[in-house]
């Protein structure tokens, strides 16, 4: 049995989560402390749009951007960096659909931080950069970890947008969800069952690993603040 869909899925989900993490927490930090209004609502709606649209619609919009005739795709193709029907395309599609979960979960965590604590740190001369990394992020870490877990799980299970952007190329762009779909289409239900059980095992192991890492990280932050 070819295990390439497993490794492609793990590689794609890891890359997508890493790509979604930094823009997600930066956007969450900005909007969490921005006064409410129509502009804030509009930006928030645009950021969570990939979560609301059907994956095939997201995939089609990505094709318009990264296709050979797209806005960015034409430039990247001239530079010898094709995106469509490549692993990069699968990672980009997964990152786009995972981003809203990272952003919205982190934003909710940031909004729960007691504003008196950052204000107290400012009075002691803490810079905004130090304030974010040493006060706000540690206090919000359980929520941020939840965003990482949800983003990874969403990227791992992404199907529609990935199929539109990267296609079904065995050994190159075929992820586990795509392998399951085409196994069922081909009447290979036993193969589809194996991939399904493997995907459940990988998702469970990922959640346990991330929770353990979050627990260790939270203890590190706590001891650092005490010290």
> Rg for the chain (alpha carbons), in Å?
20
| Number of domains forming the structure of the chain | 1
User: Helix, strand, coil % (nearest 5) of the chain?
Assistant: 80, 0, 20
**How many other C-beta atoms are found inside a 10 Å radius of the C-beta of residue 107?**
25
Instruction: List, for residues 4-22, the tens digit of each pLDDT value.
Output: 999 999 999 999 999 999 9
Highest mean pLDDT among 18-22, 31-35, 66-70, 121-125: 18-22
**Residue 112, helix vs strand vs coil:** coil
List the CATH number of the domain containing 196.
1.10.3720.10
Average pLDDT over residues 120-130: 78
* 67 vs 84: CA distance, rounded Å: 6
Q: Which residue has the higher pLDDT, 67 or 34?
A: 67
Is the per-residue pLDDT at 167 higher than 60? Answer: yes
Per residue in 30-52, pLDDT (tens digit) is 888 777 777 888 888 899 999 99
Q: Does residue 169 carry a pLDDT above 70? A: yes
Name the residue range of residue 94's domain: 4-226
The per-residue pLDDT of the chain, averaged, comes to 86
* Structure confidence at residue 164 as a pLDDT band (50, 70, 90): very high
CB of 31 closer than 8 Å to CB of 40: yes
Give pTM, 2 decimals: 0.85
Q: What is the mean pLDDT of residues 47-75?
A: 89
């Amino acid at each position: 049995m070819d295990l390439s869909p497993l490794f492609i899925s793990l590689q794609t989900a890891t890359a997508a989560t890493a790509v979604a993490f930094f823009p997600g927490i930066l956007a969450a930090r900005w909007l969490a402390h921005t006064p409410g209004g129509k502009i804030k609502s509009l930006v928030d709606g645009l950021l969570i749009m990939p979560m609301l649209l059907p994956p095939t619609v997201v995939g089609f919009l990505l094709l318009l951007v990264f296709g050979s005739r797209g806005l960015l795709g034409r430039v990247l193709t001239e530079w010898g960096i094709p995106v469509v029907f490549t692993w990069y395309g699968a990672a980009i599609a997964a990152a786009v659909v995972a981003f809203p979960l990272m952003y919205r979960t982190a934003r909710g965590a940031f909004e729960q931080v007691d504003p008196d604590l950052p204000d107290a740190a400012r009075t002691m001369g803490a810079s905004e950069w130090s304030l974010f990394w040493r006060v706000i992020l540690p206090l919000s870490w359980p929520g941020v970890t939840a965003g990482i877990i949800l983003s990874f799980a969403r990227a791992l299970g992404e199907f529609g947008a990935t199929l539109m952007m990267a296609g079904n190329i065995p050994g190159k762009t075929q992820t586990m969800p795509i392998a399951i779909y085409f196994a069922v289409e081909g009447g290979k239900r036993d193969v589809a069952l194996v991939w399904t059980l493997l995907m459940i095992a990988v998702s469970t192991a990922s959640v346990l690993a991330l929770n353990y890492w979050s627990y260790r990280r939270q203890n590190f932050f706590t001891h650092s603040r005490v010290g």
